Amino acid sequence: MRGARLHEAARAVAADHGKAVDAVRAALRPLHDEAVERELGTIPVARLQDVTEGRLRLGNVEGSGLRTVGSVLEAGPYRLRQIPGVGQRTVDQMLAAARRLSEAVRETVAVHLDVDRPEPGTTALVMALQVLVEAGPEARRAVDRAAALSQRLGPLLTAARPAAGRIRMLLAGQEKRARALAAVDEIRSLVEEAEQAGLPELLAQTSVDLLRGSPSDVAAWVDFELRSAEYYSLLAEIAGRPPDTAAAEGFLPEEIAERVRTQHLDDAHRRVSLRGYQAFGARFALAQRKVILGDEMGLGKTIQAIAVLAHLAAEGQSHFMVVCPASVLVNWTREIEARSALRVTVLHGPDRHDAFADWKGRG
């Protein structure tokens, strides 16, 4: 009975996570389609020459008013055939080339979320993403553990069915009875192990977190502004567009990149999971020691810096200093407290000398 309940809880977590991911994909799809359409509307028809290695004659096509790849796709074969001097073979080649460009754009174009200009579509996407971001890395770990547990418990529960009643056991053959009793023992062991690790409570909390939903569109946008790196990273993961490895590693020389890859990164004092490029950035700082991290805003430089501090703290170092404008002191304090187990001392204002003495003594 306990095994069946645990199995059902594991399946429920997986289903709840699947629904949350599907909600993101449903909100993303129309925005992505619009982004692809806009991009195709900026690509000149002449690019079709590149795809076909110059085999197409496009003068008449451009003269007819079709000046972009998007307009060629929208026109379709019938209208293209009406253009003087454009035969069926040219139409077929043109559309094939345009579709190849369209597929390339679809794979690479990204949806941009503008906090200063929220729209119904982007708001729906941010609200769907917030469910998963708010659930945090613990939810991802819970889903992974639930999947592994469900995979083990499912066959065992099937094998243990004859043991559910005396009549079933009597009717089962000797071999089935032995398998059922062995399955019962293994189920009992799995359940006890899961309960000792607090897995039932973790699964229950994760389901609650995944079903909670965003409190409001305003709250979702505020959270996005504070944690845009996590939103964009999660969005890329769900969209199935992992970053290019060379780009994620800053196009470094191979010998440096390899040294960075082998740099250990301790997460004992860290409370946030890192995306691949963020982990590489933190390792880069540790391996190179004197560094500047530079990328687009919102990709997680603060998180990478905190990961470096957490690693150094795990190695026994105790004194770190962030020098920043007073306007972002609150942000740094909040991020360090939320993303790590490090103690924060703010050296600012009339009490800064006392605070400095405290930091100097305690770290």
Distance CA 25, CA 155 (A): 32
Tens digits of per-residue pLDDT, 214-254?
778 899 998 888 877 778 878 888 887 655 566 667 778 88
Least trusted range by pLDDT, from 92-96, 169-173, 184-188, 325-329: 169-173
Work out the average pLDDT over 170-187.
Answer: 68
pLDDT higher for 54 or 83? Answer: 83
Report the chain's mean pLDDT, rounded to a whole number: 85
Residue scoring higher pLDDT (164 or 107) = 107
> Cα dist. 40→61, 75, 242 in Å?
16, 13, 22
Is residue 62 classed exposed, middle or buried when 0-12, 13-18 and 19+ CB atoms within 10 A define those classes? middle
Greater model confidence, 160 or 352: 352
Task: Evaluate whether 224 touches 113 at the Cβ level (below 8 Å).
Answer: yes
Domain ranges in the chain are: 1-238, 243-362
The predicted pLDDT at position 139 comes to 81
Neighbouring residues of 45: CB distance < 8 A, sequence distance ≥ 6: 58, 61, 62, 66, 67, 68, 69, 71, 72
pLDDT of residue 51: 66
Mean pLDDT throughout 50-56?
65
Give 293's contacts (C-beta < 8 A, 6+ positions apart).
Answer: 281, 284, 285, 301, 304, 305
> Residue 87: pLDDT above 70?
yes
Token pair recorded at residue 74: 């929208």
Arithmetic mean of pLDDT, 198-207:
86
Instruction: Name which of 77-91, 114-128, 277-291 the model is least confident about.
Output: 77-91
pLDDT on residue 345: 96
> Which of 52-66, 222-236, 247-261, 308-322 has the least mean pLDDT?
52-66
Give the CA angle between residues 178, 180, 185 to the nearest 5°: 95
Over residues 276-299, the mean pLDDT reads 86
Q: Which pLDDT score is estimated for 166?
A: 57
Taking each helix axis from N to C terminus, what angle separates 2-40 and 199-212, rounded to the nearest 10 degrees? Answer: 40
- 177 pLDDT band (50/70/90 cuts)? low
